């Protein structure tokens, strides 16, 4: 992170001012350091240039290298949930979310720039379909990406000309975003490990706040959306893409109830089990929907989920397999009804610019902060 980014941060515990307590600034950057709140003295580690800004009630694991780095600063690990202790249900769920996404994006499907430049889930066409922002609004803007994962949205926002991108995620996979920026990109990037419901940012610091395919996995989606609105400047925009209740009967009435059993399996076992429905889905897409699109458009028009399944025909099988695994393993997975999405905007004094039922299984919302 750049040292100048400290001025954008605030304490997740008391909203106090953050300052550099320990560590060196080299060519304007912080690598390993400790940040501190002037008001309540809460400490926040910076490891390999990545600030970890969680509240004391959160719990997050450290690997051996990270623990060794913090040991140099005599960081009180036990006081900040970095050592083993009894955990409540919410903490356990948060740990599961973090570990699941790291496993998915670091081990199963560490997508590359080639994927981001192609078609399907990772491509720019899909991103613009999920998050229908005007290119003119993105150009030269400061954009927050909540639930940034490995950096798909970061890449496409940089290609669209964003000046500054602040990206937040629970897990370590967010570090990969540094290596996935477009060639020659001049975007200023601040990566944060933090919880979307407790953003460590001052109010009114971004022009656009987005959350693409992540708000449904947050333990308090209403608070998460409110945080997106809080950090957005007046006349700015908040944009989300979330699972819809409408059009998702298989997910809401079959897959979600089955998770009581599915979540008892280890992640590698669950990934293997996802292979079989993935194969069936791929066969349906390639043997029925794709031929219908080419030879029988009138028949296709009467087929369920045609937009969504034709979209998935653009993906490699590995991506389809990963997506089915994603649906099976997500510890938190909420499906929004249309009126709930409208209420998110209304409760945060946002005016809806665009609300559409994307591919018949998602809600895409763009709302303006007045």
Secondary structure string (H, E, C) spanning the chain: CEHHHHHHEECCCCCCEEEEEEEEEECCEEEEEEEEECCCCCEEEEECCEEEECCCCCCCCCCHHHHHHHHHCCCCHHHHCCCCCCCCHHHHHHHHHHHHHHHHHHHHCCCCHHHHCCCCCCCHHHHHHHCCCCHHHHCCCEEEEECCCCCHHHHHHHHCCCCEEEEEECCHHHHHHHHHCCCCCCCEEEEEEECHHHCCECCCCEEEEEEECCHHHCCCHHHHHHHHHHCEEEEEEEEEEEEECCCCHHHHHHHHHHHHHHCCCCHHHHHHHCHHHHHHHHHHHHHHHHHHHHHCHHHHCCCCCHHHHHHHCCCCHHHHHHHHHHHHHCCCCCCECHHHHHHHHHHCCEEEEEEEEECCCEEEEEEEEC
Contact between residue 202 and residue 178 where contact means Cβ atoms under 8 Å apart: no
Sketch the domain layout of the chain as residue ranges.
3-86, 113-244+343-369, 264-329
pLDDT at 6: 96
Give first-to-last CA distance, the chain, whole Å. Answer: 31
pLDDT at 92: 72
Query: In which residue ranges of the chain is pLDDT below 50?
Result: none
| CATH class entry, domain 113-244+343-369 | alpha beta
Q: Cα separation of 146 and 295, whole Å?
A: 41
């Amino acid at each position: 992170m750049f040292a100048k980014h400290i001025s954008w941060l605030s304490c997740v515990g008391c909203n106090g001012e953050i300052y550099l307590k320990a560590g060196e600034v080299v060519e304007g950057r912080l690598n390993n350091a400790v940040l501190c709140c002037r008001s309540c003295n809460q400490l926040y580690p910076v490891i390999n240039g990545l600030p970890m800004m969680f509240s004391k009630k959160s719990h997050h694991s450290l690997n051996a290298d990270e623990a060794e780095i913090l040991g140099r600063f005599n960081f009180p690990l036990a006081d900040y949930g970095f050592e083993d202790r009894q955990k409540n249900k919410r903490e356990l769920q948060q740990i599961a979310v973090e570990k699941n996404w790291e496993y998915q994006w670091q081990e199963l499907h560490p997508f590359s720039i080639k994927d981001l430049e192609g078609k399907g889930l990772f491509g720019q066409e899909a991103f613009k379909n999920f998050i229908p922002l005007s290119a003119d609004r993105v150009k030269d803007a400061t954009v927050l990406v909540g639930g940034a994962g490995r950096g798909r949205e970061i890449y496409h926002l940089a290609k669209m000309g964003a000046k500054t991108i602040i990206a937040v995620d629970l897990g370590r996979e967010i570090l990969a975003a540094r290596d996935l920026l477009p060639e020659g990109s001049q975007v200023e990037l601040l990566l944060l490990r933090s919880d979307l419901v407790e953003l460590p940012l001052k109010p009114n610091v971004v022009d656009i706040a987005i959350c693409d395919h992540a708000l449904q996995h947050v333990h308090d989606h209403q608070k998460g959306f409110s945080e997106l609105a809080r950090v957005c400047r007046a006349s700015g925009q908040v944009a989300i893409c979330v699972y819809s209740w409408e059009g998702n009967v298989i997910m809401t009435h079959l897959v979600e109830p089955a998770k009581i059993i599915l979540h008892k399996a280890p992640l590698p076992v669950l990934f293997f089990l996802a292979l079989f429905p993935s194969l069936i889905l791929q066969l349906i897409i390639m043997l029925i929907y794709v031929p219908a699109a080419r030879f029988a458009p009138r028949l296709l028009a009467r087929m369920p989920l045609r937009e969504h399944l034709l979209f998935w025909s653009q993906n490699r099988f590995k991506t389809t397999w990963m997506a089915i695994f994603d649906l099976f393993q997500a510890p938190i997975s909420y499906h929004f009804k249309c009126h709930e999405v409208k209420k998110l905007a209304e409760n945060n004094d946002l005016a809806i610019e665009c609300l559409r039922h994307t591919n018949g299984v998602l809600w895409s919302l763009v709302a303006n902060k007045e």
